[in-house]
Structure formats: structure tokens, C-alpha cells
Amino acid sequence: LHDDQAELAVGQQLDALQQRVQVMENIISALNREVEKTQFSVVALERDNYNSQQLIQHLETK
């Protein structure tokens, strides 16, 4: 009987850990998506900044 109780307790702990791992994986996936979106935004802003600098230089040389 004691072995059955221990096995049940270990199984419950394992289930709880698996649920926690799943939650953490979901959080990491969401954070990765946000990082990717931010990287795209940074690239777009850098491109806009470069284009603005080029325009300013062009206007200054006139």
C-alpha cells in the first residue's frame, strides 16, 4: 500500500511539473514572438532613420 501511495504522489508531482513546463513553454513562445516583432520594428525604424539622414544630407548640399 505504501508503494502505491508513493507512486501516486510521484505521478502527481510529475503531472504538476509537466503543467508548469507547459506554462513556461507558452510564456517563452509569447516572449519570442514579442522579441521578433520588436526586432522588425527596430529594423524599420533604422531604415526610416537612414532615409531621413540621406534626405537631410541631400537638402544640405543644395
Tell me the per-residue pLDDT of 34-59, one tens digit each, with 9 for 90 and over. 999 999 999 999 999 999 999 999 99
Distance CA(26)–CA(32), nearest Å, equals: 10
> How far does Cα 44 stand from its chain's mean position?
19
Cell of 61: 548640399
CA distances from 29 to 23, 34, 35, 56 (A): 10, 9, 10, 41
The whole-number pLDDT of residue 15 equals 97
Residue 1 has pLDDT above 80, yes or no: no
pTM for the model:
0.70
- Angle, CA of 29, 33 and 34, to the nearest 5°: 120
Tell me the per-residue pLDDT of 8-38, one tens digit each, with 9 for 90 and over. 999 999 999 999 999 999 999 999 999 999 9
